[in-house]
Structure 1
């Protein structure tokens, strides 16, 4: 009986110490993005998949392993052969060097190889500590369709853009009324139309004789909350303004009427360097401004 108890104790000790060692490895689990082309290779998209790793090298290796395994979806296309092997995976500072086996070049079409390069690069540069990727095949640099060897590649901008028409309001020659102007602008995924409107007004100010927005003014931040656009300008908005009731009116309501063209905006709150001001010239400035239809030229 004593021998049996000793045997059980040894088994328990081995199990506990083995379990402690597994825990000590500090295995992490993370949802990452894997980039693939869509079914007809006209657009690059991403899917999410979990990976486990215990250190950086393992994280990058497992990310590439999952990428090579494929998208597991009929609406995505594999542009990297499943037989591709990672021969070298080395990170120096914030650059990762990946050397693939020759299977990486199959299929051999330019578009497939370009997409394969983009998907590898964006999969690895999603990690904050990775700023670039250098890809070789069995030690040799890959050649771009233009005939030049690829160097270190940074994240590819995959955001889709669309063109939209906006209406902005600018003062007439007498600074008495606001005149609407239609402009076509390009909006990328995730960009704010309201923010783009402010930048268009700044651009108009820099190209015209009048200052809708005073010279030197920078947009520090733009946000929207409860149908109110919050526009945060630099001190130049106040310090560089020429003053006068008419000029102040044109400046304020050029911005307000332009932003309230958006269906989701009913008012505009101005901040200067992140702070509310009690006044701006002849105007109380610490509450949102509403649209002024009476200032639009008939």
Structure 2
């Protein structure tokens, strides 16, 4: 494959994956990106050293209300390699986008088989650049990737599923931070809301964020797949979280008590407990809401510590 040969790719060929990625993210915050003007958005690229992504302001010539025109225009921009090679277009080299579809705010991108030739590090950086670019459009909340109609998978063979801007977490600012890529095992609800379904997710995150907070926020964000369903309100916020002697103490705001999903209280609680106890330093979980450690959640009295519950796993 041409256009992507450098020292990092040679390292990847021999099976060594760096544990840390030094990633430069410029001028954006967590959550859905916002345009700096009605038609100005940030287009993301991979930096020349293939260690991070950067953004460039871009003025759309298409109307924001014309989704197909805006998507087509952004695809062309994401294919353009700069003259001075200060960054790399994420859809370049031998990668070709052979089609796309947009339905219910989900943009599905279908690539040719050359996508499989990307090293793991450059692949996730390309994916981060593409997802964060497209999710700035009001008509797009999630992006999924396919290869000739088949959903892409991680290196464990698990389907990655739909990705939002929050899939790629980082802090605002122009500073260089340390980023890591981690595989999380998260638990969500079965279709009838009575069992837990494990979902594996690859996340690139700022190393300043604790692993336990990252895991809980990923549960709050939802499964992004058709095989599992959300367990917690998306409005819930983690006020504080810390680990001591193998016990994770997590304090939510009052939005945690609102349950918009058709799940049992036990499934919702243990989606958090089982997710956190997958982390090697956590054996038990203690809940609180606004500092109160004893409270009623749906019809379930929450008090004391909770250990992993394998009986609920489907």
Name which one, 1 or 2, has greater alpha-carbon Rg: 1
Higher helix share: 1
TM-score bracket for the superposition, by shorter chain length? 0.3 to 0.5
After TM superposition, the score normalised by the length of structure 1 is 0.44
After TM superposition, the score normalised by the length of structure 2 is 0.42
